Amino acid sequence: MGKLEEKLANLSRNITQLERVVVAFSGGVDSSLVLKVAADCLGKQNVLAVTVRSPLMPHRDLETAVRIARELQAPHRIIETDELQDAQIVANTPQRCYYCKRHTFELLTGLARREGYRSVLEGSNNSDTRDYRPGLAAVRSFEMVRSPLQDCGLEKNEIRQIARLLGLKNWDRPARPCLASRIPYGEPLSLEKLEMVDRAEDRLAGLGLKNVRVRYHGTVARIEIDPDEMPGVLEPELLRQISREVKACGFTYVALDLDGYRTGSLNEVIGDEPESLKNVEKQ
């Protein structure tokens, strides 16, 4: 048995003991792998994939989640929420992700308890612990929530390899965090700002850009593009197209970030995780 097969076997053992589970399902590779392994180990009748639809979710992600769940033939439910009704989330402090994850997992654990599921599984992995992720503290605060990928020590590259091994079509899908991650801390969230970013990223995807972020800075859109795609983007005609498409979404100016796309770039202005989030009590 190879290394990947051993890690997959370990993940399967971790999940098998949980009997009936809800999977927090975004359609990304992490939650897709959790859903696939849970359905294989527990049987589809004991697994429910739940996608939380909200203004913070890129609209293309919902379409992806529906498609992947259908391909896996897994029971799938979409529930609606609006985090913009929560003042702590709207304030967009560096702890925003903590409050947002608490909001999400309160919904999911409530559903799980009402319908007789023993656990809620989510897709955090070992690589996530190396960035500023206050949402992980929120996840740890729920006794009912499990993070099997992280519990098994799986890194992002290993997850992609295992997903490919299992035939998941989205094994190489770029990460797609929530739209609030495009807006600098301290800038209050609003539906208008989130929709501007979502439309702009959608238009850039239409130009063939695979891994791109539109960071909101008031009238300025700062575009982060995968370094591998940068040489092609620097063609004058494509630059003009990018500018036109982004300005059509409500921005006045369009700037290209010469450092390119990197995960958590808006975290570069903050320090370590606050002590208040390191030792949260479970509920």
**What average pLDDT score do residues 1-17 get?**
91
Task: Break the chain down into helix, strand, coil percent, rounded to 5.
Answer: 50, 15, 35
**What average pLDDT score do residues 245-255 get?**
98
Average pLDDT, the chain: 92
For residue 132, the model assigns a pLDDT of 82
Cα–Cα distance for residue pair 142/151, rounded to 1 Å: 15
Name residue, tokens 């994939």.
49
CATH 3.40.50.620 fits 3-165, yes or no: yes
For residue 265, the model assigns a pLDDT of 60
Tell me which of 263 and 105 has the higher pLDDT.
105
Handedness of CA 36, 138, 194, 82 (dihedral sign): positive
For residue 277, the model assigns a pLDDT of 47
Domain boundaries, the chain: 3-165, 190-268
**If you classify domain 190-268 with CATH, what class do you get?**
alpha beta
